[in-house]
C-alpha cells in the first residue's frame, strides 16, 4: 500500500513538471519577436530551427500546447483523487474531507508551479526556453496529432461561421474630413500629409520604405580602419552593415561610435578587430508591416534591420529614420550644424577640423599633401606641419596659406580659419 502511494506521489510531481513545461513553452514560443524567429530559421542550431518550423503554423502549435496542458492537468486531478482515496483508507478519514484537501492542495501546486512560475521564467528568457523546449513540444505534437487535427478542423469551421468585425470608422470616411479641414484652414498642409500618412501606415510594408541592396552602403569584413572612417565621413551614416565575401552574408552591424576609441588612440588601432565590436543584426522579411517593425525596433532597442527576400538573400536595409520619414516626411536638418566649411571672405574660409584634406584642396584650389595616412583631414594636416597640438589663436603660415586656430577641444583641432594670401610666403 505504501509503495503504491509513493509511486502515485512521484507520478503527480512528474505530471506537475510537465504542466510547467507546457505553460513555459506557450509563453516562450509566442513571445518571440518575428525577427528572432527569422534568425532562428537561418541558425545552424537544430533546436532553433525546430522553433522556427513549429511557429510556421502558430494555430496548430497553440492547440498542441493547450491540449497537452489539459491532458496533463486532468491526469494531475485523477492521480490526486486516487491519492486522496488511499489516504482516507489509511488514516480512516472521511472521503469528502480527503478529496477537499486534495483539490485545494493540487490547485495551489498547479497554479504556482504549473502556471505562474514557469510563465514568469520563460517570459524573461523566451529565446533560451523556446530552444530548450522545442524537442518536448515537437514530441507532444506527434503524440497528440489526432486531437490537434480534430480541434483544428473544428476551430476553422467555427471561425468561418463568425462574421469578421468591421471597423466603425473607415479611412475613406476620414480622408474627406481631412480635406475639408485643410480647405477651411483648420488643418495645415503639413499636418494633412502627416495625418494621411498615419492612416495609411498600418498597411505599409518594409518593402515600401527600404533602401534596396544596390543603394546600400556596406563594409566588407577585413576593411582597414582608415577606409571605414572615410566611408562614415563621406556618407554620414552612423550604422553600417558588415558582410563577409558577399552582400548576401551580412554578419553584423557596425556602429560609428564603437570605433571612436580606435580613432583617438593609435595604440588601440593596432588591436582593432571589427568582429569584436559588431552588433547582432536583425533580419526582417520584405512583407513585414512597418508597425510590426517599429515594435521590433522598440523592443530590441535597434535602429536598423537587414531586409531579406523570399530566398534568404539580402534585399536591402531599413532604418528607424525610414519609418519616421514615411510618417512625417523629410525632416530638414540644421544646415549650419552640419557644415564642414563656411566661406567668410573672398579668399577666406572656416573649416571643420574633420574636413578631409581632399575636400579642402578642392575648395582652396591647392595641392596639400600629408606624409602620414593618419592625417587625412585638414586638422591632421596642421598637426603634421606644426609637429604639435597648437593652441587657440595660434597662426601658422604655410606656402600661400595662413592658418588661424579658432577652436581646440580635447587635444583635437575643431575649427580652423584658412586665408589664401596674395603673395606666397615661406613657412
Q: How is residue 278 annotated by DSSP?
A: P
Question: Which residues face 306 on adjacent strands?
Answer: 283, 317
Higher pLDDT, 120 or 229: 120
The per-residue pLDDT for 142 is 95
- The residue among 39 and 187 whose pLDDT is bigger is 39
What digits encode the pLDDT tens for the residues 413-422?
889 999 988 7
Q: Is the pLDDT of residue 334 over 70?
A: no
In terms of pLDDT, which residue wins out, 168 or 136? 136
Q: Is residue 333 predicted with pLDDT exceeding 60?
A: no
* Whole-number pLDDT of residue 71: 95
For the cut 50, the answer to whether the pLDDT of residue 425 exceeds it is no
> How is the chain split into domains, by residue range?
2-161, 171-202, 205-328, 336-420
Q: Among 1-10, 169-178, 394-403, whose mean pLDDT is lowest?
A: 169-178
**What is the pLDDT, as a whole number, of residue 263?**
72
Interval 344-401: pLDDT, tens: 888 899 998 888 888 888 888 888 887 765 567 888 888 888 888 888 899 999 988 9
User: Beta-carbon neighbour count of residue 388 at 10 Å?
Assistant: 7
Task: Give the per-residue pLDDT at 372.
Answer: 65
225 has pLDDT over 90: no
Average pLDDT, integer, range 133-145: 95
Domain 205-328 fold = CBS-domain (3.10.580)
Going by their DSSP bridges, the two strands 283-285 and 304-308 should be labelled as parallel
Q: Is the pLDDT of residue 53 over 90?
A: yes
How many angstroms separate the CA atoms of 138 and 132, rounded?
11
- How far apart, in Å, are the Cα atoms of 297 and each of 124, 242, 250, 285, 312? 18, 19, 18, 14, 21
Confidence bin at 22 (pLDDT 50/70/90):
very high
Mean pLDDT of 335-346: 67
Burial of 18 (0-12, 13-18, 19+ CB in 10 A): buried
- Which of 165 and 297 is assigned the larger pLDDT? 297
Q: How high is the mean pLDDT of the chain?
A: 85
Cα 362 to chain centroid distance, Å, stands at 40
Give pLDDT, residue 52: 93
First to last CA, the chain: 106
**Measured between alpha carbons, how far is 378 from 380 in angstroms, rounded to an integer?**
5
Domain 336-420 in CATH 3.30.465.10? The answer is yes
pLDDT at 355: 83
Confidence of residue 147 (pLDDT cuts 50, 70, 90): very high
Q: What are phi and psi of 285, to 5 degrees?
A: -80, 160
What pLDDT score does 247 carry?
92
Listing DSSP states for 207-276 in one string gives HHHPEEGGG---EETT--HHHHHHHHHHH--SEEEEESSSTT-EEEEEEGGGGHHHHH-HHHHHT--HHH
Quick one: pLDDT at residue 336? Answer: 42
Cell numbers 583635437 correspond to: 412
DSSP-derived 3-state class of residue 344: strand
The arithmetic mean of pLDDT across residues 213-219, rounded, is 86
Q: At a CB cut-off of 8 Å and minimum separation 6, what does 203 contact?
A: 289
pLDDT at 1: 58
Amino acid at each position: 500500500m505504501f509503495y503504491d502511494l509513493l509511486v502515485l506521489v512521484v507520478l503527480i510531481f512528474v505530471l506537475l513538471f510537465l504542466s510547467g513545461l507546457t505553460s513555459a513553452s506557450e509563453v516562450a514560443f509566442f513571445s518571440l519577436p518575428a525577427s528572432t524567429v527569422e534568425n532562428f530559421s537561418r541558425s545552424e542550431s537544430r533546436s532553433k530551427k525546430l522553433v522556427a518550423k513549429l511557429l510556421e503554423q502558430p494555430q496548430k502549435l497553440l492547440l498542441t500546447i493547450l491540449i497537452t496542458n489539459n491532458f496533463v492537468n486532468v491526469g494531475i486531478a485523477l492521480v490526486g483523487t486516487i491519492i486522496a482515496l488511499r489516504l482516507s483508507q489509511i488514516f480512516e478519514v472521511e472521503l469528502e474531507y480527503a478529496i477537499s484537501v486534495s483539490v485545494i492542495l493540487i490547485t495551489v501546486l498547479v497554479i504556482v508551479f504549473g502556471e505562474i512560475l514557469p510563465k514568469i521564467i520563460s517570459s524573461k528568457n523566451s529565446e533560451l526556453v523556446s530552444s530548450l523546449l522545442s524537442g518536448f513540444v515537437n514530441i507532444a505534437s506527434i503524440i497528440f496529432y489526432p486531437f490537434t487535427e480534430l480541434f483544428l478542423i473544428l476551430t476553422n469551421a467555427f471561425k468561418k461561421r463568425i462574421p469578421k468585425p468591421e471597423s466603425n470608422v473607415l479611412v475613406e470616411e476620414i480622408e474627406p474630413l481631412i480635406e475639408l479641414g485643410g480647405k477651411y484652414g483648420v488643418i495645415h498642409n503639413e499636418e494633412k500629409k502627416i495625418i494621411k500618412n498615419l492612416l495609411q501606415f498600418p498597411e505599409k510594408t518594409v518593402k515600401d520604405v527600404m533602401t534596396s541592396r544596390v543603394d546600400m552602403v556596406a563594409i566588407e569584413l577585413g576593411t582597414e580602419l582608415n577606409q571605414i572612417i572615410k566611408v562614415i565621413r563621406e556618407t554620414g551614416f552612423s550604422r553600417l552593415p558588415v558582410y563577409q565575401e558577399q552582400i548576401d552574408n551580412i554578419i553584423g552591424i557596425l556602429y560609428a561610435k564603437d570605433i571612436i576609441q580606435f580613432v583617438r588612440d593609435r595604440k588601440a588601432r593596432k588591436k582593432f578587430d571589427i568582429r569584436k565590436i559588431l552588433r547582432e543584426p536583425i533580419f526582417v522579411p520584405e512583407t513585414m508591416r512597418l508597425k510590426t517593425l517599429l515594435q521590433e525596433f522598440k523592443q530590441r532597442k535597434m535602429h536598423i534591420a537587414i531586409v531579406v527576400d523570399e530566398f534568404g538573400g539580402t534585399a536591402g536595409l531599413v532604418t528607424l529614420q525610414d519609418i519616421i520619414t514615411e510618417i512625417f516626411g523629410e525632416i530638414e536638418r540644421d544646415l549650419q550644424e552640419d557644415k564642414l566649411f563656411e566661406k567668410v571672405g573672398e579668399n577666406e574660409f572656416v573649416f571643420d577640423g574633420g574636413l578631409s584634406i581632399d575636400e579642402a584642396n578642392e575648395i582652396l584650389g591647392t595641392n596639400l599633401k600629408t606624409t602620414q595616412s593618419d592625417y587625412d583631414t585638414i586638422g591632421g594636416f596642421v598637426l603634421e606641419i606644426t609637429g604639435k597640438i597648437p593652441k587657440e589663436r595660434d597662426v601658422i603660415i604655410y606656402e600661400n596659406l595662413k592658418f588661424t586656430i579658432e577652436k581646440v577641444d580635447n587635444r583635437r583641432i575643431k575649427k580652423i580659419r584658412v586665408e589664401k594670401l596674395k603673395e606666397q610666403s615661406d613657412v
